[in-house]
Amino acid sequence: MNEVRFGQAINKALADAMTADPSVIVLGEDVARPGGPFGVTRGLLDRFGPERVRDTPISEAAIVGASVGAAMTGLRPVVEIMFMDFVTLTMDALVNQAAKARFMFGGQLSVPMVVRMPHGGGINAGPQHSQCLEAWLAHVPGLKVVCPATVADAYGLTRAAIADDDPVIVVENKALYAAKGDLPDTAAATPIGRARTARAGRDATIVSYGAMVPVALAAAADLGRDGVDAEVIDLRSLQPWDEPAVLASLARTHRLVIAHEAVEAFGVGAEIAARMSDVGFDELDGPIVRVGAPFMPPPFAKTLEDWFRPDAAKIVAAVKRTMA
């Protein structure tokens, strides 16, 4: 067991995958010689050489498009998009090419590629460097989307994404890169599509993912002091998401709050709420309450960003509302 940072766990996952499979390559802006804008790919160039670890020009559309062609021709590319906000420039390659190729060509092939992209605020990076756009991608049939919250899952979901035969988006919250946690020497892949119970509880379920999981745990601790025993479910995968696990938790607690950093409207929480109000209707003893950012671009100034990002107090208030 080693204590490592979240970013280092991803680095180890990349290195282990590259060691295990020569068809895995890593490419992106500043990922090779500089070691990545957030240092996640540090050392890979030295270990695996310039053929497999490539600094690319600032050409998001071409590098993701090229990853589709490379995946069709026997490689397993792992691309880094420096900020998730830049996914806008890759949308044709992701949505019209990668996501559809298998279906559209009658199941002739798979497109095994991974696109890593940091999302989220907390570093005052402003409206074009802080967004959480994962709902866009989760809305596209053919794409998978995962979002780790812990060091173990940063490793495990990255390994699973690379091993997966379909295009997988790994959403990494910037605020988590420096977080520390234990990574077993024999760390394993985390199966895509399976949630984790981050805290067991009987009174209310808080479903969350990514950097909101520790916030939800803090909210649960606060609620505990008020005698409310909240369960926290870490989704880990957003597409597919673990509907049975969420339903099972709801069936125990009968109250549901969904919390994410992305804007609340039309988000991942909306999908979960809609499904639970259908398949979980009989279990509900209160309204399903969502906690998300207000419907606006992420602001820059510290006071504004702090207000914009959901915090534990908002989750506590949401749980109290569904229990009222």
Partner 1 sequence: MSHTLAPFATDRLLELYRGMRLVREAEERLSALFAEGEIPGFIHLSIGQEAVPVGVASVLDEADTLASNHRGHGHAIAKGLDLDRFFLELLGKQDGYCRGRGGSMHVADMKLGMLGANGIVGAGLPIAVGSALAHKIRGTGHIAVVFFGDGALAEGVLHESMNLAQLWSLPVLFVCENNGWSEFTEGARQLTTDPQRMAAAYGMKATKVDGNDVIAVAGAAREAVATVRAGKGPCLLECVTRRVRGHFEGDPQKYRDAGDVAAATRDDPLARCESQLIADGISQADIEAVKTATAARVDAAVAKARAGPPPSPADTLADVYSPPREVAT
35 binds partner 1 (CB under 8 A): no
Instruction: Please say if 254 is a catalytic residue.
Output: no
185 binds partner 1 (CB under 8 A): no
* CB-nearer residue toward partner 1: 132 or 140: 140
270 binds partner 1 (CB under 8 A): no
User: Contact at 8 Å (CB) between 161 and 148?
Assistant: no
CA distances from 76 to 9, 27, 97 (A): 19, 11, 16
* CB-nearer residue toward partner 1: 89 or 248: 89
CA distance 317 to 320: 5
Instruction: Please say if 129 is a catalytic residue.
Output: yes
* CB-nearer residue toward partner 1: 25 or 246: 25
123 binds partner 1 (CB under 8 A): no
Choose which of 10, 14, 53, 71 interacts with partner 1 (CB under 8 A): 71
At closest approach, how far in Å is the CB of 226 from partner 1? 41
Choose which of 28, 35, 65, 210 interacts with partner 1 (CB under 8 A): 65
Piece in contact with partner 1 (CB under 8 A), picked from 181-189, 220-228, 277-285, 301-309: 181-189
CA distance 80 to 83: 9
* CB-nearer residue toward partner 1: 119 or 159: 159
51 binds partner 1 (CB under 8 A): yes
Q: By CB neighbour count within 10 A (0-12 exposed, 13-18 middle, 19+ buried), where does 116 fall?
A: buried
Task: List phi, psi (to 5°) of 126.
Answer: 85, 180
Active-site residue, selected from the candidate residues 119, 129, 254, 260: 129
For 69, the token pair is: 């062609």
CA distance 30 to 91: 21
Chain centroid to Cα 233, Å, comes to 14
Known catalytic residues are 60, 129
